[in-house]
A and B are shown apart, each in its own frame.
Chain A
Amino acid sequence: MTTVIINDTIRERVQRIETMPAIPAIFLPLLELLNAPPEAVKLEEVVKLASYDNAIAAQCLRAANSPLFGLAKSPESIRGAVMLLGLRKVETILLTCCLSNAFPTKRWPLDPTVFWRHSLGCAMVCRKFSEKMGARDHEKAYMAGLLHDLGLMVNCIAFPEKFTHSVQYALKEQVAMDEAERGIMGFTHCETGSALAEKWHLGTDMVQVIAHHHAPERSEAAQPLVALVHLGDLLCRMRGMGYGYYESRKVDLAHNPAWSILQKEYSGLEGIDLVRFTFELDGEVAEIFELVATIFGGAAVQS
């Protein structure tokens, strides 16, 4: 009962905060495009969406021109970028730019570069994991990974002082961020994130992921998706794509409750060689770091 009361209070508080960003105009249509199978997405739709916001289109082009993609010819338009990079990459860049513009990072207690590395890293891990275990909707897994920590952005903006203390505590004690938040603020990014996700009408599954990715067994719907994000989040934090500090813990993925949840749904899970999966993920880290650096203009240095 107490939990419900706390949740309601947080939800009301988040939804009433005036500084809380409105959902960016192209966010939901973009999300919809990303959730659709690639063959069903028309190039024109993406171009049209990007053209609504000049700042985002420009940011996307800057990213597309990065040496990371090694394009011989620099794209001068979103259409050109899609042709050269592929639809999925451009959609991801657009969505990331769109979200980051909605949450101005001035005086964030959390390093935005670190935050985006974690979010994009988790998105990539969730998609790869989803493919390996034989799930159907890999793009949804990617989206869930990308958005799972929406609440951290909310906390940066809505509760800057308390959240600063939480981040400092997590760093000093080397504990998980949600543990620090709960201890210092009395609630976590899961509650604040899901409140905003509800306000933005992101859909039940995404709300469940954002609300329960630290305790998937508590989710009331989309439990396998929530479990997948839980594991992806943990793995990222153990392989250099956490929140930029040392978390003093060991993680046993195959004996985690999330693993059992997935086991019931996907027979392909047993065949996954987790060590090799980890090594493969390591091979992607540099690219994620460079992508973030390109989108946000920071240096491609590892923290």
Chain B
Amino acid sequence: MTGTQPALATTAPVKAAMDPIYRQIRDLVYKVSGIYQLDEKLYLMADGCARRIKLLNLKSPREYWELLTAPASREAELRQLLNELTIGETCLFRSQPQLDALHKIILPELVMEKTKQVTKRLRIWSAGCSTGEESYTLAMNMMEQSERLLKGWTVEILATDLNDRSVEAAKAGIYGDYALRATTDYFKRKYFVTLDEKRLQVKSEVKKLITFSRLNLQDDSRMLFMKGMDLIFCCNVLIYFDGPSKSKVINHFFSNLNFGGYFFLGTSESLMKLNEQFHLVHFPGAIGYWKPSLKSGKL
């Protein structure tokens, strides 16, 4: 679970000792992917680079920078580096500030806006759901509200990924200690069954809320049919897309959201002004993108 605030880490002298090339690499990665590494987490980037440098038999970070910027190797190597940077990031309850914003600010707002409608229905899409951690986190959190804010509401969660194997793993809903490192005992007891000593499996009542399927976000014809979403989560997926593809997918997300709906990226990911229609909104410790409601007159 990431805390509400960035963790205390390096002090000034450690920062000063970091090779300045890593700041250059950080800026390049941000420009290309929208992923930002905080100064205090630059050592993670340095670790990732070090693994690549070793694997590629390079002599120095400077040589690695040259590889990252050379036209012939740039694209493929950036992809490898992004893999290094996001590897192992996924876990259930990954961003508590995002969940707090959901409970305390967004759901009350959506419920109030939608109460006048005949069907009390909430639709959530986890786009690029990988092995299902985010989808189940959302499902459990929605279930927690089923006797409170969402009493009498139907919640549908759609979870999609490009990779068939990920979708199958997500459907199984089996997780070990690492994926469950941020899950409290309360949630473990309430929503999981013990499979063996090291693994827990999500209960079927949670699974019922979610429809898992394979989807390519660049498949325009299928993207057109994903309408009527209230919330879309797309974490560390767009970082791999080039500029025009990213813009196109984001435009799809925008049109697939209901007015007043929200779009979320990963916690260190930015939309980088690729869509001017979304309003960037800050919640305590979390950033989201809002599709203005019709009555706000801001569209």
Contacts and interface: CB of A to CB of B under 8 A. Distances in A.
Interface of A: 67-70, 174, 234-235, 237-240, 242, 246-255, 273-276, 278-279, 282-283, 285-287, 289-290, 300, 302
Interface in B248-299: 268, 270-273, 279-285, 287-288, 290, 298
B6 A286 contact: yes
Interface of B: 3-13, 16, 30, 36, 38-40, 100-101, 104-106, 268, 270-273, 279-285, 287-288, 290, 298
A252 B279 contact: yes
Contacts of B268: 279
11 contacts: A238-B285, A239-B285, A250-B105, A250-B281, A252-B290, A253-B280, A255-B298, A275-B270, A278-B287, A282-B6, A302-B8
Given A254-B279, A275-B272, A68 B12 contact: yes
A67 B12 CA distance: 8
A247 B16 contact: no
A17 B48 CA distance: 60
Contacts of A283: 6, 38-40
A273 B36 CA distance: 12
Contacts of A67: 11, 13
B260 to A, nearest CB: 12
Given A250-B283, A255-B279, A276-B30, A68 B270 contact: no
Contacts of B272: 273, 275-276
Contacts of A278: 282, 287
Contacts of B281: 250-252
A274 B287 CA distance: 10
Given A250-B105, A275-B270, A300-B8, 11 more contacts: A67-B11, A68-B12, A70-B11, A250-B101, A250-B290, A253-B282, A275-B287, A283-B38, A283-B40, A289-B8, A302-B7
> 5 nearest interchain CB pairs?
A240-B5, A70-B13, A275-B270, A283-B39, A238-B282
A278 B286 CA distance: 10
B104 A248 contact: yes
A82 B106 CA distance: 48
Contacts of B9: 286
A68 B11 contact: yes
B47 to A, nearest CB: 18
A240 B11 CA distance: 19
A70 B5 contact: no
B8 A240 contact: no
A255 B292 CA distance: 11
A129 to B, nearest CB: 14
A209 to B, nearest CB: 21
A274 B105 contact: no
A285 B11 contact: no
Contacts of B11: 67-68, 70, 290
Nearest to A271: B273
B280 A275 contact: yes
B104 A174 contact: yes
Contact of A240 (B10, B36, B106, B285): B285
Contact of B8 (A239, A242, A286): A286
Contacts of B285: 238-240
B58 to A, nearest CB: 27
A289 B285 CA distance: 16
Nearest to B37: A279
A174 B105 CA distance: 11
Contacts of A68: 11-12
A240 to B, nearest CB: 3
B10 to A, nearest CB: 8
B279 to A, nearest CB: 5
Contacts of A274: 280
Contacts of B16: 70
A302 B3 contact: yes
Contacts of A246: 100, 104, 284
A279 B38 CA distance: 7
Point out which of A235, A247, A276, A283 has the most chain B C-beta atoms below 10 A from its C-beta.
A283
A242 B97 CA distance: 14
B121 to A, nearest CB: 23
Contact of A251 (B6, B13, B282): B282
B287 A286 contact: no
Contact of A302 (B5, B30, B106): B5
Given A253-B282, A254-B280, A286 B104 contact: no
Contacts of A248: 104-105
Contacts of A252: 279-282, 290
Contacts of B283: 238, 249-251
B12 A279 contact: no
B27 to A, nearest CB: 10
Given A69-B12, A286-B40, A279 B270 contact: yes
Nearest to A282: B6
